[in-house]
Amino acid sequence: MDGKILAASSKHTKPVDRVFQYGTAGFRMKANLLDSVVFRVGLVAALRSRKLGGQTIGVMITASHNPPEDNGVKLVDPMGEMLENSWEAYSTELANARDEDLLKVYKSLEEKLKINGETTARVIYARDTRASGPALVRALVDALDATGTEYTDYKLLTTPQLHYLTRCTNTEGTPQSYGDVSEKGYYEKLSEAFVRAMKGKKTVGAVTVDCANGVGGPKLHELVKYLKKGSEGGVDIKIINDDVLKAESLNHECGADFVKTKQRAPPTSKAGNNERCCSLDGDADRIIYYFNDPEHGFRLLDGDKIATLAASFIGDLAREARLAEELKIGVVQTAYANGASTKYVEKSLGLPVVCTPTGVKWLHHAATKFDVGVYFEANGHGTVVFSPQALKAFHTKEPESPAQAAALNTLRALADLINQTVGDALSDMLLVETILAHKAWTPREWDLTYVDLPNRLVRVEVKNRNLFKTTDAERKLVEPQGLQEQIDALVSKVRDGRSFARASGTEDAVRVYAEAVTRGEADDLASKVAGLCR
């Protein structure tokens, strides 16, 4: 095997003077720099699978909402979760090894982690629609071949589909089976659960789905075929921005990130006033909703609004099912969550809120501490996770009334509809559609549940973002010394003010967030805090 690794690595040499880091979303950068990184991620995947006794590891090649010329790679652990933390460091170490040291570093990891090189390693992989994907897949396959790894190529998939398949592969034939190990199995599971969750209800009007000209487009077209087969047409889906042939159109003036940062609909959207719209990102793991209010203009229904909608609906169902006493329901947010959403969850819904650092792995982990953990980043990345106790209760609770039986049925359907492995734009969309249908709500009624505090996000170019160190789920700076006190002093002068600065995990910059009771105060606070960081 050693000779094979050496021979294969000579085809995937590392660019000199480049430092790579496995960040919040794996490795991500200009695609032309990624060849050696993807090859080495293949080596890590083989090691990780062997370390876990031959369980299957997922490898996804995508750069999500980044521009078309970027790409990236991330690893998926056996239950469909993000890669375990300590292995991010091993990935970084291997990615940065000099070509001549690569085998030595590989062997030292094998030894340090007590990995049996004889164990069969198993990997599944997929990619998004970027033009650079196929060449990067070849780099990955070279590493898998060199390490004698068994693998399956799932070609084009959304990131959450690969998470789903990773979990299905590792649980196949066990009582924990998560579904059929195929893309078709994913559509069948979601569409069948959706029909049960809708119980013949219909949403008000159509939903226009902007697919960011990414992999979500063809996959949503596929899902719609299954929804049509099974349902009585509970939802009318209009698909836009689904062109995956024009590589340069990916995420260009469309997609969840565009809508969230520009605070407007994609120019291609033809939706009229009060019509429900949503946007996916390039690999369909994020979703945000929006609509045009004839009085107030563009209205964003972001991850916070999706989380509060889901928490309120599931909370009500738990009460109707008489499970509220025995199940701990909670919401997990990051510091970016609008203060009004946090207040709404705690005060109006009466549910606890936990705040974690940015990055899905932190939120997911915190959510698993609840029986029903609803987690969303404001940018639309999130899902709901159910504990084994919650799932058991949904299936074993004896209903004493038709209303209780109906609530239990809906909860069981939601547990299948919601992708438990990671935030999934397609599954989240069906969840939102289900809830709006049950409540017979238009987006306006959803929007009115609480009013966001005006807020501003500023990207600040700094000399060295690594000097910015935070604590308290990124809400406070511990370094540079004295800066937090200066921020606190500014915040104290503003009504309902809140502001924090943190180093980005994906870009070479510091991000500053500020909110306050008025737009002017929020903008002013953000620009003053940004000034302090420069």
Residues serving a catalytic function are 64
Among 60, 115, 360, 453, binds ligand 16G (CB under 6 A): 360
Minimum CB distance to ligand 16G, residue 505 (Å): 3
- When the beta carbons of 14 and 511 are compared against ligand 16G, the nearer one is 511
- Rounded Cα gap, residues 227 and 236, in angstroms: 10
State the Cα–Cα distance between residues 245 and 254, nearest whole angstrom: 16
In the structure encoding, which two tokens stand for residue 238, read together? Answer: 């209009």
The pair phi, psi for residue 495, each rounded to 5°, is -70, 130
CA distances from 399 to 193, 197, 386, 402, 406 (A): 20, 17, 20, 7, 9
What is the nearest approach in angstroms of ligand 16G to the Cβ of residue 319? 31
Instruction: Give the per-residue contact string, 267-306, with ligand 16G (x = CB under 6 A; - = no).
Output: ----------------------------------------
With respect to ligand 16G, which residue has the nearer C-beta, 14 or 48?
48
Whichever of 43 and 360 has its CB closer to ligand 16G, that residue is 360
User: DSSP 3-state assignment of 337?
Assistant: coil
Taking CB under 6 A as the rule, does residue 359 contact ligand 16G? yes
Q: Does 24 bind ligand 16G (CB under 6 A)?
A: yes
84 touches ligand 16G (CB under 6 A): no
Q: Which of 312, 315, 331, 332 is nearest to 323 (CA)?
A: 315
Take residue 144 and report the two structure tokens written for it.
Answer: 């898998």
Considering the complex, what minimum distance in angstroms separates the CB of residue 231 from ligand 16G?
31
Q: Residue 359 Cβ, how far from ligand 16G at the closest point, in Å?
A: 4
365 forms part of the interface with ligand 16G (CB under 6 A): no
> Total binding residues for ligand 16G by CB under 6 A?
13
377 contributes a contact to ligand 16G by CB under 6 A: yes
Q: Is 417 helix (H, G, I), strand (E, B) or coil?
A: helix
Alpha-helical regions (H) of 328-442: 339-343, 360-367, 388-396, 402-417, 425-439
Q: Assess 70 for contact with ligand 16G (CB under 6 A).
A: no
Q: How far apart are CA 37 and CA 460, in angstroms?
A: 28
Q: Is there binding between residue 358 and ligand 16G (CB under 6 A)?
A: yes
Q: How far is the CB of 119 from ligand 16G (least distance, A)?
A: 28
Q: Which of 257, 235, 228, 255 is nearest to 244 (CA)?
A: 255
> In this chain, which of 5, 8, 25, 374 binds ligand 16G, going by CB under 6 A?
25
Are the C-beta atoms of 382 and 423 separated by less than 8 Å? yes
> Which is nearer to ligand 16G, 368 or 504 (by Cβ)?
504
Bond into 218 cis (ω within 30)? no
Neighbouring-strand partners of residue 512: 458, 501
Q: Output 234 or 357, the one with its CB closest to ligand 16G.
A: 357
Measured from the Cβ of residue 341, the count of other Cβ atoms closer than 10 Å reads: 24
Of 364, 500, 373, 492, nearest to 421 (Cα)?
364
CB of 357 closer than 8 Å to CB of 378: no
Which of residues 25 and 337 has its CB atom nearest to ligand 16G in the complex? 25
Residue 310 carries which side chain, given as an amino acid letter? A
In the list 379, 419, 420, 470, the residue contacting ligand 16G (rule: CB under 6 A) is 379
Q: Which of residues 484-513 bind ligand 16G (CB under 6 A)?
A: 504-507, 511
Stretch that binds ligand 16G, among 230-238, 253-261, 377-385, 398-406 (CB under 6 A): 377-385
Shortest Cβ 391–ligand 16G spacing (Å): 25
- Residue ranges of alpha helices (H) inside 346-401 are 360-367, 388-396
State the nearest-atom distance from the C-beta of 133 to ligand 16G, in Å: 18
Residue 525 is which amino acid?
L
Closer by beta carbon to ligand 16G, 55 or else 333: 333
Residues in touch with ligand 16G (CB under 6 A): 24-25, 358-360, 377, 379, 381, 504-507, 511
